[in-house]
């Protein structure tokens, strides 16, 4: 019992002292990792990745990635300034690279380091499609999703310690059973929904950023429809996935587009 009380106390303190309101989502978020800790390692990993992969430069596609990336960056700066958060991007070192890789993928590391794989370009098709992808990935970084996932994983591990403490007097077989129950329950019931919520948040913020940058957010729906067709329905059940299903994502986007257009209108961007 004493071990359980100590565990609960530690977990409670972690939650109290690590939650802050993110200005882009308006939500209190779990984050044990500061940007000053996260960014240096992020930049180092980015540099290592670029050395190990072929960077495409000097082409029209590479120029488009940089041009769209800069517009998304400026949109993020303008949006955050409108929220009174002009210092929010301190420490960001923006960079936009196109990588020669057939994988349909793109990502943005904490601190603004962005990679687009050439394999996604046939699906983005145009600058608006590319803005959909880059706005979404940048939004993961702006919402500190990477740090939140790291923090959640730490809490998940802490929970496993709590289960071990609570079942320490039981047989080894029962201890293993409870750990398995905890592992499955925490993954399916907490970690995966947590990840899916991040995807939805990034979709919403990304729509706003692409709209402020001058790209019609309706194009995001068109892009994700193409992505769904490209996947051929080969995806795990939503409850077992880190991402919403294509149908859920597209439905959410349709509901989010009016707000994105409304925010963009405040910056003088009007879509017909």
Query: Which CA distances in Å does 116 have to 18, 32, 41, 130, 187?
Result: 32, 28, 20, 9, 29
Confirm if 155 and 125 have CB atoms less than 8 A apart: no
Among the options 95, 137, 201, 219, which is catalytic?
137
Known active-site residue 66: no
Confirm if 210 and 217 have CB atoms less than 8 A apart: yes
Residues in Cβ contact with 41 at an 8 Å cutoff, skipping those fewer than 6 apart: none
**Residues with a known catalytic role:** 137
């Amino acid at each position: 019992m004493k071990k359980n009380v100590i565990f609960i106390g530690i977990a409670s303190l972690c939650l109290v002292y690590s939650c802050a309101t993110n200005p882009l989502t308006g939500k209190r978020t779990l984050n044990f990792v500061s940007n000053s800790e996260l960014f240096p390692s992020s930049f180092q990993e980015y540099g290592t990745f670029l050395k190990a992969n072929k960077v495409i430069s000097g082409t029209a596609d590479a120029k488009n990635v940089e041009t769209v990336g800069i517009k998304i960056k400026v949109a993020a700066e303008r949006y955050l300034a409108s929220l009174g958060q002009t210092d929010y991007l301190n420490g960001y070192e923006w960079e936009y690279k196109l990588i020669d890789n057939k994988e349909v993928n793109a990502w943005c590391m904490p601190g603004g380091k962005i990679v687009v794989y050439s394999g996604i370009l046939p699906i983005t098709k145009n600058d608006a499609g590319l803005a959909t992808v880059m706005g979404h990935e940048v939004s993961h970084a702006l919402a500190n999703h990477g740090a939140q996932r790291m923090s959640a994983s730490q809490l998940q591990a802490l929970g496993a310690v709590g289960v071990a403490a609570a079942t320490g007097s039981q047989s080894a077989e029962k201890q293993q059973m409870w750990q398995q129950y905890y592992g499955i329950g925490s993954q399916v019931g907490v970690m995966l929904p947590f990840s899916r919520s991040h995807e939805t948040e990034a979709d919403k913020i990304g729509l706003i950023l692409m709209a402020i940058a001058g790209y019609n957010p309706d194009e995001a729906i068109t892009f994700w429809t193409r992505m769904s067709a490209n996947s051929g329905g080969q995806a795990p059940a939503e409850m077992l996935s880190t991402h919403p299903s294509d149908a859920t994502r597209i439905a959410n986007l349709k509901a989010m587009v009016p707000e994105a257009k409304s925010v963009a209108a405040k910056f003088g961007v009007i879509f017909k």
